[in-house]
């Protein structure tokens, strides 16, 4: 069956609906947190954006590796999409984290391992995107940014495990078993919604990347015809 629109829009609509439901669910249908009260509700966006940021950057790493090994241009399109969506999610992560930090830690920002490593991760990937923007040649851009992405991916495990390596003010990863059932549900709905949103963005961004590659690949314009000398 041929859809009259791109398939990812279906996912996008589902994602938006689910996200709206997740927000309403998290804001109004879940009891406030036993210790932090209503403030904790921001975690229903903070944690899903963190999970998905890590997930999307992992996709970027796999695509970079895939491009260097196989040289298939699809990996490059996916890499471009994953880099930008990952950066978006990381910015959301840092912003919501910062808003959450003010009422709970009484500061907007603290130079502790988790926050610092997340900021480093963001800057590293922004560097790769800037690198992509200055290289004109398609293959070159693909190879270089793949190499830079692989090097940048060293920051991924560092950020993820930073809370366990250096115990500081940021809590370690929470096990679902430690969370009360309705709160866990709000978390899962929002995580799925953000995942679907990210998928929608990835697919859209993929298509733009593919178009750009084709434009870059287009044969050079023919030389203007010289008027015949008579």
Partner 1 sequence: MIAFFQQIFGVALKDLTIEVRAPVRAFSVLFFALVILVMVAFAAGSTTKILQDIAGGTLWIAILLTSTRALDQSLSTEFEDHALEELLLWPVEPAAIFYGKAIANALVLWVVAALLTPLLFVIYDAPLFGSFVELVALIALGCAAIAAPGTLYATLTAQARGGAVLLPLLLFPLVVPALVAAARGTTVVMEGDPMRQAPAWLVVLVLFNLIHWAVAGVLFRYVIEEP
- Smallest gap from Cβ 135 to partner 1, in A, equals 6
Task: Pick the binder of partner 1 from 6, 10, 27, 123 (CB under 8 A).
Answer: 123
Q: What are phi and psi of 37, to 5 degrees?
A: 70, -145
Distance (Å, whole) CA 156 – CA 230:
68
Question: Rounded to the nearest 5 degrees, what angle is found at the Cα of 42, between the Cα atoms of 41 and 47?
Answer: 110
Number of residues that bind partner 1 (CB under 8 A): 27
Check binding of 148 to partner 1 (CB under 8 A).
Answer: yes
Check binding of 24 to partner 1 (CB under 8 A).
Answer: no
Check binding of 139 to partner 1 (CB under 8 A).
Answer: yes
Point out which span in 23-31, 152-160, 177-185, 189-197 binds partner 1 (CB under 8 A). 152-160
Q: CB count, 10 Å around CB of 64?
A: 28
Distance (Å, whole) CA 78 – CA 201:
11
Check binding of 70 to partner 1 (CB under 8 A).
Answer: no
The total number of residues written for the chain in this structure: 230
Nearest to 68 by CA among 135, 131, 140, 121: 140
Q: What are phi and psi of 87, to 5 degrees?
A: -65, -45
- Smallest gap from Cβ 57 to partner 1, in A, equals 14
Point out which span in 26-34, 35-43, 116-124, 182-190 binds partner 1 (CB under 8 A). 116-124
Check binding of 150 to partner 1 (CB under 8 A).
Answer: yes
Check binding of 158 to partner 1 (CB under 8 A).
Answer: yes
Distance (Å, whole) CA 160 – CA 155:
9
Point out which span in 54-62, 86-94, 131-139, 209-217 binds partner 1 (CB under 8 A). 131-139
Distance (Å, whole) CA 60 – CA 81:
8
Point out which span in 38-46, 73-81, 145-153, 192-200 binds partner 1 (CB under 8 A). 145-153
Task: Pick the binder of partner 1 from 128, 186, 191, 194 (CB under 8 A).
Answer: 128
Name the residue with tokens 């603290």: 110
How many Cα atoms within 13 Å fall on the side-chain side of residue 185?
11
Q: CB count, 10 Å around CB of 9?
A: 13
Task: Pick the binder of partner 1 from 124, 191, 198, 201 (CB under 8 A).
Answer: 124
Check binding of 152 to partner 1 (CB under 8 A).
Answer: yes
Check binding of 143 to partner 1 (CB under 8 A).
Answer: yes
User: Could you list the residues that contact partner 1 (CB under 8 A)?
Assistant: 68, 116, 120, 123-124, 126-128, 130-131, 134-135, 137, 139-140, 142-144, 146-148, 150-152, 154-155, 158
């Amino acid at each position: 069956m041929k859809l009259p629109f791109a398939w990812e829009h279906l996912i996008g609509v589902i994602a938006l609906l689910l996200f709206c439901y997740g927000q309403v669910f998290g804001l109004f249908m879940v009891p406030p947190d036993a210790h932090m009260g209503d403030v904790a509700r921001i975690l229903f966006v903070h944690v899903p954006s963190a999970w998905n940021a890590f997930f999307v950057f992992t996709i970027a790493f796999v695509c970079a590796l895939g491009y260097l090994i196989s040289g298939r241009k699809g990996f490059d399109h996916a890499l471009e999409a994953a880099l930008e969506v990952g950066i978006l999610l990381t910015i959301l992560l840092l912003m919501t984290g910062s808003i959450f930090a003010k009422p709970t830690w009484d500061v907007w920002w603290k130079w502790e391992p988790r926050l610092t490593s997340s900021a480093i991760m963001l800057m590293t990937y922004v560097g790769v995107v800037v690198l992509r923007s200055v290289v004109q040649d398609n293959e070159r851009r693909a190879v270089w940014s793949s190499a830079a992405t692989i090097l940048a991916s060293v920051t991924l495990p560092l950020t993820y495990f930073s809370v366990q390596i250096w115990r500081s003010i940021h809590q370690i990863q929470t096990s679902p078993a430690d969370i009360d059932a309705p709160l866990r549900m709000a978390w899962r709905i929002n995580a799925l919604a953000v995942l679907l949103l990210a998928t929608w963005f990835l697919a859209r961004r993929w298509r733009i990347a593919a178009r750009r590659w084709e434009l870059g690949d287009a044969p050079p314009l023919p030389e203007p015809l010289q008027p015949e000398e008579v």
